[in-house]
Amino acid sequence: MYEGLINKYSKYLPVEDKSKIVTLNEGNTLFLKLKNLPKAIGLTNANVYVKFEGLNPTGSFKDRGMTMAVTKANEAGSKAVICASTGNTSASAAAYAAVAGMKAYVLIPDKKIALGKLAQAIIYGAEVIAIDGNFDDALNMVVELSKTQPVTLVNSINPWRLQGQKTGAFEICDALGRAPDYLMLPVGNAGNISAYWMGFKEYYANKEVTNLPKMTGFQAEGAAPIVENRVFPNPETIATAIRIGNPASWKLATAARDESNGTIDKVSDEEILEAQKLLAAEDGIFAEPASCASIAGLIKKVKEGKLEKDRQIDIACILTGNGLKDTSVVVNDNMEIQKFKPDLNELSKLFK
Ligand SMILES: *Cc1c(COP(=O)(O)O)cnc(C)c1O
């Protein structure tokens, strides 16, 4: 039986006491080759794979890091965890704290998190505190609180988070038998791009693969500090999970970009929503807006002619979270639902 990513990748994830592992059997997520979308965007010489991280136990990749961070907090005898969150970190921290019998404190930006994510933090029993400020403000608060109060910080500046998250790279390499040519993913606080790069490099160093991908990150236009090389004091985007103006892992992310010969680019909210719809309508996968920055980015690269055309390439896109967490963006956008009386004659007209 699969028992979570710490057990699976124990060679790469040091844990002292196996009995203290805090897991919900996260990881081992769906990795799927897209059948229709590549053709729809005019891409003929690439296999496009998606890793659907929305199928983790709390619906986002954050569970990969949280199993490690909460396991280590548990090992150290900590009784509580704390985080700032745009939503998914708080959902994940709350769930793992629950299973470990620990308390979770989560600070969220007031009214700027998707309702599904807020519901998760509440139902898993976290202490939820809304801050009249943005994510970056909340992160500054929890960093200070964790220095003076008996709580362990589980934001991605906790090094164990990135250790757990690097397993996404292992799973992709295990599935393909090699690293993809491109790894495309959204960039918010920039922990995940850093973690994936660490994972690919470790697999390469251990000769599990003989190639490395170009790390290709995408920020939202209204929250693009790395792309524009400046802090965004008031980040704005519909993709709330990447609504971050001053990423904690900024330096690690630019190192991943530069060492891998990759790029970090930006996409507009409009492009993100179009990509979200295209992915669902073409290939049956519903990912949350931030996730779809990776697909929007892929479309942008194709339009700009930035990908190799002379050979077959493998592209892996990380779909970081589940679309069901944030349905308001969809329902508000497409309210053209047809209304009919429950009358068979009327309804039959639909099929003409
Ligand atoms: C956290 C999150 C991101 C951003 O990841 P970073 O590691 O902060 O760059 C992107 N998408 C979703 C769904 C997330 O929850």
Residue 186 confidence (pLDDT) = 98
pLDDT of residue 66: 98
Q: What is the pTM of this model?
A: 0.95
| CB of 62 sitting under 6 A from ligand 1 | yes
Sheet strands side by side (includes 80-84): 127-131, 103-109, 80-84, 152-153
Rounded CA-CA distance 336/334 in Å is 6
Phi, psi of 171 (to 5 degrees): -65, -40
Backbone angles phi, psi at 337, to 5 degrees: -85, 130
Token duo for residue 324: 């069901």
* Nearest Cα residue to 301 out of 271, 280, 322: 271
Structure tokens at 65: 């890091």
What is the rounded CA–CA span in Å between residue 233 and residue 94? 28
Per-residue model confidence (pLDDT) at position 334 = 61
Residue 113: predicted pLDDT = 85
Q: How far away, in angstroms, is 169 Cα from ligand 1 center? A: 15
Compute, in angstroms, the gap from residue 351 CA to the centroid of ligand 1. 42
Beta carbons within 10 angstroms of residue 348's beta carbon? 9
Distance 40 CA to ligand 1 centre (A): 26
- Partnered with residue 218 across adjacent β-strands are 186, 265
* Long-range contacts, stretch 25-31, CB < 8 angstroms, 24+ apart: 25/57, 26/56, 26/57, 26/63, 26/64, 26/66, 26/67, 27/56, 27/63, 27/64, 27/167, 27/168, 27/171, 28/2, 28/171, 29/53, 29/55, 29/56, 29/171, 30/55, 31/171, 31/172, 31/175, 31/316
Name the residue of 320, 322, 325 whose CB sits within 8 Å of the most ligand 1 atoms, as the mutation to test its pocket.
320
Whether ligand 1 lies within 6 angstroms of the CB of 97 is answered as no
Of 58, 192, 246, 249, best ligand 1 pocket probe by most atoms within 8 Å of the beta carbon: 192
pLDDT mean by block of 10 residues, the chain; 352 residues: 97 91 98 98 97 98 98 96 95 98 94 89 96 91 96 95 98 98 98 98 98 98 98 95 95 98 98 98 98 98 96 98 93 75 91 88
